[in-house]
């Protein structure tokens, strides 16, 4: 699985003008399940996400996790993280998990992250979503499991 974590002061995801999920200070997370991924990958990625120290401590160093901060997360499915751009000008997405597997693993990731103690809100799998965020730093980190 792949995830792109953005440290944010706030973020929202909406569909057709309706806000489905939001977060205050915390993480905006784009998640993609790849072919061959399992629930164990989703659980491992969620555990790494909750413990990743990318928030400032009292000295201004990135030394706190979203758990330490007491922050929350907005998790949005993003199959385009599977893009293969090695040939031509049009990305291919054949390495992404099939939609039914992708949905299950996306939901597993969000549940596993919530189970660590991070409040989680989500978008709508497969929908045409609009994401708005204020990236803090900016800090953007790619993770894989």
Positive/negative CA dihedral, 137, 144, 110, 100: positive
Residue 51: left (phi > 0), alpha (psi -120 to 50), or beta? alpha
Domain regions of the chain by residue span: 2-144
Check residue 98 and give its pLDDT.
Answer: 96
Averages of pLDDT over each 10 residues, the chain, 145 residues? 98 97 98 98 98 97 97 97 94 95 98 98 96 97 96
Q: Look up residue 25 and give its DSSP letter.
A: S
Q: Is 4 exposed, middle or buried (0-12, 13-18, 19+ CB in 10 A)?
A: middle
Check residue 27 and give its pLDDT.
Answer: 98
Check residue 136 and give its pLDDT.
Answer: 97
Architecture of the 2-144 domain: 3-Layer(bba) Sandwich (3.50)
Check residue 1 and give its pLDDT.
Answer: 97
| Residue 111 Cα distances to 38, 62, 83, 124, 137, angstroms | 14, 26, 25, 14, 27
Catalytic residues: 78-80
Check residue 95 and give its pLDDT.
Answer: 95
Q: Look up residue 127 and give its DSSP letter.
A: S
């Amino acid at each position: 699985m792949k995830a792109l974590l953005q440290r944010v002061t706030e973020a929202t995801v909406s569909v057709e003008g309706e806000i489905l999920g939001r977060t205050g200070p915390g993480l905006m997370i784009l998640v993609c399940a790849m072919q061959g991924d399992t629930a164990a990958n989703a659980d491992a990625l969620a555990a790494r996400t909750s413990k990743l120290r990318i928030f400032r401590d009292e000295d201004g160093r990135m030394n706190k996790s979203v758990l330490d901060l007491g922050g929350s997360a907005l998790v949005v499915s993003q199959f385009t993280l599977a893009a293969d751009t090695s040939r031509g000008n049009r990305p291919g997405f054949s390495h992404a998990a099939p939609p039914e597997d992708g949905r299950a693993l996306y939901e597993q990731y969000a549940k596993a992250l919530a189970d660590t103690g991070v409040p989680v809100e989500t978008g709508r799998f497969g929908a045409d979503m609009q994401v708005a965020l204020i990236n803090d730093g900016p800090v953007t980190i790619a993770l894989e499991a």
